[in-house]
């Protein structure tokens, strides 16, 4: 590790707080609108989690995506980060989209069932008082 990398590593540690429960290293520096931590390296703004991954684990291959296994976008704990190819990331995103669709459909179904339940209850109550 070069001197420069060692300094960057220290910066990353200084600018994050370790959550004892989730083990996330929560970025305390600047985060963008989407909640990703950002850090300036040699006058360039970079994603803190990507920099952390490169310093602690491996150089990132090409345009690979660094995925948060903990779903915490501001986390820079290298143990919570996983390098995935764009394809893998897309598959995961598509899965998430289809789950979302499924959730919406199930919610509609639940609403219908609740309506039906109400109808049944009303009917039952109406016949009870006869
Ligand atoms: Zn994490």
pLDDT single digits (tens) 32-41: 999 999 999 9
> Helix (H, G, I), strand (E, B), or coil: what is residue 56?
helix
Does residue 29 contact residue 15 with C-beta atoms inside 8 Å?
yes
Predicted pLDDT of residue 128: 84
Centre of ligand 1 from the C-alpha of residue 20, in Å = 11
Q: What is the pTM of this model?
A: 0.68
Listing DSSP states for 83-117 in one string gives EE-HHHHHHHHHHHHHHHHHHHHHHHHHHHHHHHH
Cβ neighbourhood burial of 52 (10 Å; 0-12, 13-18, 19+): buried
Distance CA 41, CA 52 (A): 12
- Residue pLDDT, tens place only, 108-130: 999 999 999 999 999 999 998 76
| Sequence spans of domains, the chain | 3-84, 87-130
Q: Which residues surround ligand 1, an ion (CB under 5 A)?
A: 24, 70, 72, 75, 77, 80
> Distance from the CA of 78 to the center of ligand 1, in angstroms?
8
- Interval between CA 60 and ligand 1 midpoint (Å): 18
């Amino acid at each position: 590790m070069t001197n420069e990398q060692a300094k960057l590593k220290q910066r990353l540690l200084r600018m994050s707080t370790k959550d004892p429960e989730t083990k996330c290293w929560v970025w305390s520096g600047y985060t963008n609108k989407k909640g990703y931590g950002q850090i300036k390296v040699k006058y360039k703004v970079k994603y803190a989690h990507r920099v952390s991954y490169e310093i602690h684990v491996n150089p990132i291959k090409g345009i690979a995506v660094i995925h948060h296994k903990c779903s915490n976008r501001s986390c820079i704990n290298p143990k919570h980060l996983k390098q995935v190819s764009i394809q893998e990331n897309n598959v995961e995103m598509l899965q998430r989209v289809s789950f979302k669709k499924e959730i919406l459909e199930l919610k509609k179904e639940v609403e219908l069932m609740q309506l039906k339940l109400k109808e049944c209850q009303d009917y039952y109550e109406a016949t009870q008082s006869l």
